[in-house]
Amino acid sequence: MEIKRRLILIMVAVLCVIMAGSLGYYIIYQGTSSFMDCLFMTVISLTTVGYGEVTAVTGNIAAEIFTMILITFGMGIILYGISTLTAITIEGELSGMLRKKKMEKQISKLKNHFIVCGGGETGRPVIAELIKNGEQVVLIEMDEEIIERCKEIGDLLYIKGDAADDARLAAAGIDKASGIIVTLSSDKDNLFTTMSARMLNSRVRIISRVISKSLEPKMRRAGANSVVSPNYIGALRMASEMIRPAAVDFLDSMLRSSRGNLRIHQINVSDQSPLVGQTLMEGGLKQDYELLVLGVRHRNREMEFNPSPQLVLEKGMTIIVLGEVVNITKVRQKY
């Protein structure tokens, strides 16, 4: 906005000088020269082209004095305009290069972050939710306008380019990423990007979007851990709105509430976790962090809902909890 204001100021200043010079000559010659001749005389004087006097300046004291004033002050304004335009161009390119270098350095330091490929209608809400949950996110997007819209969400790191390009995925830190979400506009691009990501990191968790549900098997064979069809999910949502509106409204209120960051999340019990060998009650999730335990997934992938407080936790278990994001983050960092 500051650059735009400066450009407008320069154009207005140059236009005022030209108009003032033209009117000055027109007044001095009392209409004996046409306004076009006066305008032409002003332009060749300011640009020092030197085609010759269109109107008789030599011998006319008033015209000579006016021409000297016009050249002195007019050239100053024009030179200022040229220098400002040059500075804006150089500053813009230089600041852009510095921002890019700084961002690349920040991305190179990331670990266990999430990569989102595509910042469109699906990708933007995904980014917003990840940021709201305190996760580190890197966006890969080709469209500059989409990048700018996504940057409005918060402090966002991004790579401009094709998400299917191995170099872009590598620049986004695919080798150290915890997961990658592929939300491009076409199934072909999503399939190719998924395959590229899996080849670059065999351990990363990949969530891919499909428009056609029939392509889910291909997407999984390409390397996706999970496949989501917005059309299918939307259909289920519409049915749920009809059958169980209160339950849907509860979940929506939890996700959209501005009074807190209440979320359902998971806590993985690793080999080194102090929770191993303790009961749910001894773990202090409820007492110390105000987290409500909704369920536990055992190592055999079996899900136990509303588990007993006396359930002994083992490595490899996953605890499903409901609570404030800040408290969930504390527990995940500690355990």
pLDDT confidence band for 119 (50 / 70 / 90): very high
Torsion angle (degrees, nearest 10) of CA 285, 290, 293, 298: -30
**pLDDT tens digits for range 80-114:** 878 877 776 776 655 666 777 888 899 999 999 99
In the predicted model, what is the mean pLDDT of residues 17-24?
87
Tell me what pLDDT residue 217 has.
93
pLDDT confidence band for 271 (50 / 70 / 90): confident
* CATH number belonging to domain 2-105: 1.10.287.70
Tell me what pLDDT residue 8 has.
83
3-state class (DSSP) for residue 324 = strand
Tell me what pLDDT residue 261 has.
74
How many whole angstroms separate alpha carbon 44 and alpha carbon 56? 14
Tell me what pLDDT residue 132 has.
84
**What's the full length of the chain, in residues?**
335
Tell me what pLDDT residue 138 has.
96
21 or 107, higher pLDDT? 107
What are the structural domain ranges in the chain?
A: 2-105, 110-228, 261-334
Read off the tokens for 251.
């979940």
E strand intervals along 174-261: 179-182, 205-209, 226-228
What are the φ and ψ backbone dihedral angles of 223, each rounded to 5 degrees? Answer: 130, 0
Q: What is the mean pLDDT of the chain?
A: 86
**pLDDT tens digits for range 61-86:** 887 888 888 888 888 888 887 887 77
Given 3.90.79.10, 3.10.129.10, 3.40.50.2300, 3.30.70.1450, which CATH number is that of 261-334?
3.30.70.1450
Residue type for position 272: Q
- Angle of CA points 179, 259, 139, to nearest 5°: 25
Tell me what pLDDT residue 258 has.
55
**Nearest Cα to Cα of residue 256 among 160, 129, 108:** 129
Kindly report which listed range (15-19, 23-27, 30-34) carries the lowest average pLDDT score: 30-34
Tell me what pLDDT residue 36 has.
85
Q: How many CA atoms lie within 13 A of 323 on its CB side?
A: 22
Tell me what pLDDT residue 218 has.
94
In the predicted model, what is the mean pLDDT of residues 19-36?
82
- Angle of CA points 114, 117, 123, to nearest 5°: 90
Q: Are 306 and 319 in contact (CB under 8 A)?
A: no
Helix, strand, coil shares, percent, the chain, to 5: 55, 15, 30
Instruction: Tell me the torsion sign for CA atoms 262, 258, 206, 213.
Output: positive
What is the arrangement of strands in the sheet containing 205-209, beginning at the earlier edge strand? 157-160, 137-141, 114-117, 179-182, 205-209, 226-228
Does the domain made of 110-228 have the CATH classification 3.40.50.720? yes
Tell me what pLDDT residue 51 has.
65
In the predicted model, what is the mean pLDDT of residues 201-217?
93
Q: Are 114 and 178 in contact (CB under 8 A)?
A: yes
In the predicted model, what is the mean pLDDT of residues 192-220?
94
